[in-house]
Amino acid sequence: MANNNNNNAAFNFAALSSALNGGAKSDEFVDAKKSKVEAFAGEDLTELPIDFINGLSPAVKKRVEVLQEIQDEHDELKEKFLEEKAALEAKYQVLFQPLYTKRYEIVNGITEVEAEGAANETPADAKVVAMVTTADTAKAEEKGIPSFWLVAMKNNDILAEEITNSDEEALKFLKDIKYTRIDAPKGFKLEFYFDKNPFFSNSVLKKTYQVVEEDDPILENAIGTEIDWLNGKCLTEKKVIKKKAKIGSNNAKPINKTETCESFFNFFDPPEIPENHLNIGEEAVEELQKEMEHDYEIG
C-alpha cells in the first residue's frame, strides 16, 4: 500500500500461544517471538543444551568455543548491517519525497501536465484541440486524476478484497497516502489524506505499526484512528432489524441492532492483544493470530 521497503516484512506468531497463556507482559511477548524467529532461522547455533555440552570431549568443547567466537563476530557484523540498512532507507526516503510531491500535485490537479507534442503542434493542430475541448467542456474542466487512489488500491489483490462497494464512494475522496518511518518506537506510519466528504469529518486517517526490527520486522503493536462518522454514514456497521416474540404471543416486536460489517475502514481499528492473557482460550488465540497477520499484510 505504501511506498516503502517493508512490504515483504515477515510476521511471526509462533510464540503467541505460549506467551499469552503464560501471562507474559508485552515486552516478554515480543522477546518470546524474537527468540522463536532466531531459533527457526538458525541465527544462534551455539545455544546448545548444558547436558549436551557436558557430554562432549575437551576437543569438541574447544570447537564449540570457536563457533561461539564466530557467532560473536557474525552478530557484530549483523548489527552494523542493520544500522547501515536503516540509514540507507532513511536516505532514500528523503530522495523519494520530491517524486511523491510531484505525484500528489498531478493527481490532485495542482500541477497540469503538458499534452504530448504540444510544443511542436501547428496552428491547425491547435484549432482541432480547441474544438474538441469546447465540445467536451465538462471533461476539460476535470482536474487531476479522479479516483486515482481507489483504482490503485483495487489494483492490489489484497486490498481489493477489503474494499466494498460502499467503501468505493468514500475512497474516491482519498487524495494521498503517505508512508513515514518512525524511530521511537521503531516502525512506520501510514497517513491517508481525504478531501471533505459526506462520510466522516476526519481529514487524515492514520495507522501506526510498531515493530521489532531484525532481518524481518516483527509486529509489536498497531495503532489506528477513531473515525468520526457523520450521521447515518458509518461504513463499518450496519443496522439489523430482528423480531422478538413475547411468550404466549404471536406478535413479534421489531428490535433494531447494530452489527459490525465488512469494510476497508476496519483497517483503522486494528485487533488488540488483551491485557488479561490468562483468560484467552486456544481458539481465541488462533483467531487473534489470523487477524493481526492479516492486518499487517494489508499495511
Enter the C-alpha cell of residue 133.
Answer: 475541448
Q: Which domains does the chain have, with CATH numbers?
A: 16-234+261-298 (3.30.1120.90)
Asked if the peptide bond before residue 185 counts as cis, ω within 30 degrees of 0, the response is yes
The answer to whether residues 188 and 213 touch, using CB atoms and an 8 Å cutoff, is: no
3-state DSSP assignment of residue 185: coil
pLDDT, position 84: 94
Instruction: Enter the pTM of the model.
Output: 0.68
Task: Give the separation between CA 195 and CA 57, rounded to whole angstroms.
Answer: 72
Give whole-number Cα distances, 271 to 5, 27, 163, in Å. Answer: 24, 18, 18
pLDDT tens for the chain, 299 residues long, are 544 443 333 333 333 333 333 333 344 344 444 444 444 344 455 567 777 878 888 898 888 889 889 999 999 999 999 889 889 988 999 999 999 999 999 999 999 988 765 555 566 555 544 544 554 555 557 889 999 999 999 999 989 999 999 999 999 999 999 999 888 788 889 999 999 999 999 999 999 988 876 666 677 788 999 999 999 999 999 888 776 655 656 666 777 788 889 999 999 988 776 666 556 666 666 666 666 666 767 75
Q: Give the residue among 272, 274, 244 at the shortest CA–CA distance from 257.
A: 244
Contact between residue 94 and residue 129 where contact means Cβ atoms under 8 Å apart? no
